[in-house]
């Protein structure tokens, strides 16, 4: 039985946003760790979802979030943190499987989001699910990405134990949105 859902949206940032909102009760007021060199759009997604973040320095060796700093932060106070967004700087191909396995073994409720938006898209990533520790793996096919589709887009693999839905508008806002769209269409 597959442990992951395949999600397709107009942007990878939309997937991240919907994931954060759908699981807000799970994260509560806890903080996510982000690398200091992350795309500003990603930080804005966390802010828009009203999710706390803390930026950490990157490793001079990998240019990704410094693994030792992450370990130190969690050792000091793991209850403060909901998870980490780990991005592959410049689409690098270093293997971080040992680091991810360590995080999941020592902190099983710690959310692991892999941002592979600058990497080569891999739609068969979860075929061998036994080797994956991530809860959400994001890919992008938007502007300035490895595979740039004219229509943009993003896709992800989400561990099935987490929620994902796109319908966050109340009936009041849906009605207003429908009126706005009708007026725009007529124009």
pLDDT in tens, 48-74: 999 999 999 999 998 889 999 999 999
pLDDT at residue 121, as a whole number: 67
Q: For residue 178, how far is the Cα from the chain centroid?
A: 29
Structure confidence at residue 123 (pLDDT): 56
Predicted pLDDT of residue 41: 87
Residue 1 has pLDDT above 50, yes or no: no
Task: State the pairing for strand pair 81-87/136-140.
Answer: unpaired
**82 burial via Cβ count (<10 Å: 0-12, 13-18, 19+):** buried
Q: For 149-160, what is each residue's pLDDT tens digit?
A: 445 578 788 888
Taking the whole predicted model, whether its pTM rises above 0.95 is answered as no
Report the run of H or E that residue 86 belongs to, with start and end: strand 81-87
Q: Which residue has the higher pLDDT, 5 or 56?
A: 56
Determine how many CB atoms are found less than 10 A away from the CB of residue 126. Answer: 19
Kindly list the distances between the CA atom of residue 144 and the CA atoms of 29, 88, 118, 152, in Å, as whole numbers in the listed order: 34, 15, 8, 10
Higher pLDDT, 126 or 60: 60
């Amino acid at each position: 039985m597959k442990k992951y859902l395949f999600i397709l949206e107009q942007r990878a940032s939309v997937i991240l946003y919907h994931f954060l909102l759908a699981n807000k009760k799970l994260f509560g007021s806890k903080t996510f760790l982000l690398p200091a060199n992350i795309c500003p759009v990603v930080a804005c997604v966390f802010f828009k979802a009203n999710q706390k973040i803390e930026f950490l320095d990157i490793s001079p060796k990998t240019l990704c979030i410094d693994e030792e700093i992450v370990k130190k932060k969690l050792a000091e106070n793991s209850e403060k943190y909901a998870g980490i967004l780990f991005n592959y700087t410049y689409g690098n191909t270093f293997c971080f499987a040992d680091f991810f396995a360590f995080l999941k073994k020592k902190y099983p409720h710690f959310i692991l989001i892999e941002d592979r938006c600058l990497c080569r898209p891999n739609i068969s990533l979860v075929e061998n699910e036994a080797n994956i520790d991530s809860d959400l793996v994001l890919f992008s096919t938007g502007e300035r990405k490895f595979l740039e589709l004219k229509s943009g887009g993003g896709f992800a693999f989400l561990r099935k134990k987490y929620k994902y839905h796109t319908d966050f508008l109340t009936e009041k806002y849906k009605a207003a949105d429908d009126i706005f769209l009708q007026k725009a269409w007529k124009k």
